[in-house]
Structure 1
Amino acid sequence: MNATIIALLGYITWIVILLVALAIYRTSLVMNRKKAANSFKADGSDSPPLGHRLTRAQANCVESFAFIGGLMLLALATDSAVITNDLAYVLLIARLGQSVAHLISTSILAVQIRFAFFLVQVGICLYWIVQLATKFIG
């Protein structure tokens, strides 16, 4: 397996881990009669702070998958993983770092750290776009 495949698998696994954590969290609220099963808002805004952060961290991973996963899949589908392999792990680490920062706190420092991790991901994706466009458009 190459780095792009491993990073893509890691990204998808992280999304599933966050989803399972969210399901466990919400189930515990229902089982402890703190919330009704049909009362959760999709954005988590009606949950306690941890639940809200967990909801948003998971949703943010899914939202970012469109461009991160899309570029990795494009590279794999076009036999261009040589373009994405070198930075695939860096991107995955930045994605994990952004999520963990999101889960830990919403303080100003945590938000700035989270944004720095996001900028790393966007920068890598922009680099990949240029490299892929150069390869296919010329």
Structure 2
Amino acid sequence: MNATIIALLGYITWTVLLLVALAIYRTNLVMKRKKAANSFKADGSDSPPFGHRLTRAQANCVESFAFIGGLMLLALATDSSVITNGLAYILLLARLGQSIIHLLSTSIFAVQVRFAFFVVQIAICLYWIVQLATKFIV
């Protein structure tokens, strides 16, 4: 069992689930005639509060994939997943935590908790960068 593969699959699955939830949410608004199908702003700023949070949570996953998914894919492609395996599940849990808190609340405490989950992800990615650079550059 390769933790990096499972965490990467989990990350991608979570991103797709958020996208499906967003599609269902927006379809519901259109079906109830609360919004026109062609009137949604990409950032969700014109949606009700939950819709805006859902849009941003999904977008955050996509935006972070460049470095999170990129590092996991780099590790897998270079047979270096031993570097990422140890923290892969923690990173996935931090990603899930950040998204779930984002969906639930925008209170000051929730934003601080969400930021803490983000910091965990960044710290893990920085650690992986150093480890991978050490392996291949030094």
Q: TM-score range by the shorter chain?
A: over 0.9
Q: Which residue does the alignment assign to 2:127?
A: 127
1:49 aligns to what?
A: 49
Query: How does the TM-score come out when normalised to structure 2?
Result: 0.99
The percent identity for this pair of structures is 87
TM-score normalized by structure 1? Answer: 0.99
* Structure 1 equivalent of residue 68 of structure 2: 68
Which amino acid in structure 2 is aligned with residue 6 of structure 1?
A: I
Paired residues for 1:21-100 under 5 Å: 21-100=21-100
SS of residue in 2 equivalent to 1:8: helix
State the shift of 1:112 in Å.
0.2
* Distance across 2 between alignment mates of 1:38 and 1:130: 45
Query: In 1, Cα distance between the equivalents of 2:61 and 2:117?
Result: 13
Matches within 5 A, 1:97-108: 97-108=97-108
Q: Distance in 2 between matches of 1:130 and 1:35?
A: 47
Structure 1 residue 37, shift from structure 2 partner:
0.3
Distance 1:137 1:64 in 2: 24
Backbone CA RMSD of aligned residues: 0.4
Aligned counterparts of 1:20 and 1:137: Cα–Cα separation in 2: 40
Offset of 1:121 from its aligned partner?
0.2
Q: After the TM superposition, which segments of 4 or more aligned residues of structure 1 sit over 4 Å from their partners?
A: none
Q: How many residues align?
A: 138
Task: Give me the whole-angstrom Cα distance separating, in 1, the residues matched to 2:100 and 2:117.
Answer: 10
